[in-house]
Amino acid sequence: MHTFEVYKVYPISIVKAKGCELTDSEGKKYLDFYGGHGVISIGHCQDDYVKGVAEQLSTLGFYSNSVQIPQQEELAIHLTKISGYTDYKLFLCNSGAEANENALKLASFYTNRSKVIAFKHSFHGRTSLAVAVTDNPKIQAPVNETDKVLWAELNNIESVKALMDNDVAAVIIEGIQGVGGVQMPTTEFMKQLRELCTQNGSLLIVDEIQSGYGRTGKFFAHQHHDVKADIISMAKGIANGFPVGAILINPEIKAVFGMLGTTFGGNHLGCRAAIETVKVMEKNNYVENAAKMGKYLKEKLSLNKEIKDLRGEGLIIGVEPKGNASELRDKLLFDYHIFTGFSGSVNTIRLIPPLCITKKEADMFIEAFFKATNQPLPTK
Ligand SMILES: Cc1ncc(COP(=O)(O)O)c(C=O)c1O
């Protein structure tokens, strides 16, 4: 049997990793400015994380949601503190798509409405509802086609108003559009959107799966705009590589048995991985580090004359070069041994490194990037 080949893969096999460094099967070292698609938050194989997860696994790896799982409450306490969403409820699942699936379903249950407004160039995942609110017909199967999803333009409140009616359960928006090429909602737009949702009795769902969990220098990207969401979806960085997804839910939305459910979600091992991740984040102030390193990287990159546009906040940075981004990405990987992300639709390299990157690692990236684009190195 062979694997079902749905990915374009590099001819590289990573066998070991520590912090922001990857090692392949031939012993070659790489700098990780991709974090396995924004998943590695506290660095690969962080010591406390490895110890905590190993201990949990040797004690109790899994039992179902039919019994009390105190690790869920422990995680909720950490999340309350670090996110500032003190009175919200936590529901745990296994992936980003599943988090959005649950968020949308919950909004529809709560409002008893059936439509959703989503944004052009969005990405919310590949399961049924998540892909239906994703603006990419290529990944939607005929069964996903629906007239329940309405499409608005990012940063254009009139386009949202034109679609709003009393059957709109929710508006779903990414904290920062990631796959769409690091496109930023403005503060004015986010405030208008919040107000419009409140007036219309629709829920505001913010997908923080890529932009959240400290990556932008605040716990959630939407907190830069001083707005509150009704439901926030999370995954990727939440457990540093262990598959965990979650939603935070406005306390006005009351849980009803059977409304949401999952076999694996919130299991002992997943929770332990998430608890260790958040503890390491708190202890090392990685949210602050993301802000600091992101600012530093952007300052240096802004001196590169081969860059057409530079977008992002903290450690989610979109670099749109004047030349071909795909070729530059390959050059960074094969000539300079640096992994980065990519948004093909807007010719953009996406930097989503672990939040623990050091200044030395940021400098290594800058040096490689300037060399790869034939630009003089910025002075220190
Ligand atoms: C903003 C956003 N939402 C949802 C998802 C889907 O997450 P998952 O692949 O864990 O289902 C992604 C994945 O890239 C994402 O970037």
Which H, E and C letters describe the chain, residue by residue? CCCCCCCCCCCCCEEEEEECEEEECCCCEEEECCHHHHCCCCCECCHHHHHHHHHHHHHCCCCCCCCCCHHHHHHHHHHHHHHCCCCCEEEEECCHHHHHHHHHHHHHHHHCCCEEEEECCCCCCCCHHHHHCCCCHHHCCHHHCCCCEEEECCCCHHHHHCCCCCCEEEEEEECCECCCCCECCCHHHHHHHHHHHHHHCCEEEEECCCCCCCCCCCCCHHHHHCCCCCEEEECHHHHCCCCCEEEEECCCCCCCCCCCCCCCCCCHHHHHHHHHHHHHHHHHCHHHHHHHHHHHHHHHHCCCCCEEEEEEECCEEEEEECCCHHHHHHHHHHCCCEECEEEHHHCEEEECCCCCCCHHHHHHHHHHHHHHCCCCCCCC
Q: How confident is the model at residue 297 (pLDDT cuts 50, 70, 90)?
A: very high
User: Counting atoms of ligand 1 from 1, which one is nearest the CA of 125?
Assistant: 6
Report how far ligand 1's centroid is from the alpha carbon of 241 (Å): 13
Asked if the model's pLDDT at residue 237 lies above 90, the reply is yes
Closest-CA residue, ligand 1 atom 4, reads 124
Name the token pair of 189. Answer: 């737009």
Give the pLDDT score at 36. 96
pLDDT tens for 72-82 read 999 999 999 99
Q: Which domains does the chain have, with CATH numbers?
A: 14-46+285-372 (3.90.1150.10), 47-284 (3.40.640.10)
Q: Measure 125 CA to ligand 1 centroid, in angstroms.
A: 5
Which tokens is 64 given?
Answer: 């179902």
Predicted TM-score (pTM) of the model is 0.98
- Residue ranges around ligand 1 (CB below 6 Å): 37, 95-97, 100, 123-125, 174, 178-179, 207, 209-210, 235
How many CA atoms does the CB half-sphere of 28 hold within 13 Å? 16
> At 379, is the pLDDT very low, low, confident or very high (cuts 50, 70, 90)?
confident
Non-local CB neighbours of 240 within 8 Å, separated by 6+ positions: 39, 40, 41, 42, 43, 46, 49, 273, 276, 277
Average pLDDT of span 239-257: 97
Instruction: For residues 176-201, give the mean pLDDT.
Output: 98
132 alpha carbon to ligand 1 midpoint, in Å? 13
pLDDT for residue 344: 86
pLDDT at 116: 98
| C-alpha dist (Å) from residue 292 to 21, 82, 242, 278, 338 | 20, 18, 26, 19, 21
The pLDDT value recorded for residue 201 is 98
pLDDT in the model for residue 243: 98
Cα(206) to centroid(ligand 1), Å: 12
pLDDT given for residue 323 in this prediction: 97
Look up residue 141 and give its amino acid.
A
Q: How far apart are CA 359 and CA 284, in angstroms?
A: 15
- Mean pLDDT of the 12-38 span: 98
Nearest ligand 1 atom to the CA of 243 is 10
Summarised one tens digit per residue, pLDDT across range 335-351 is 999 999 999 899 999 99
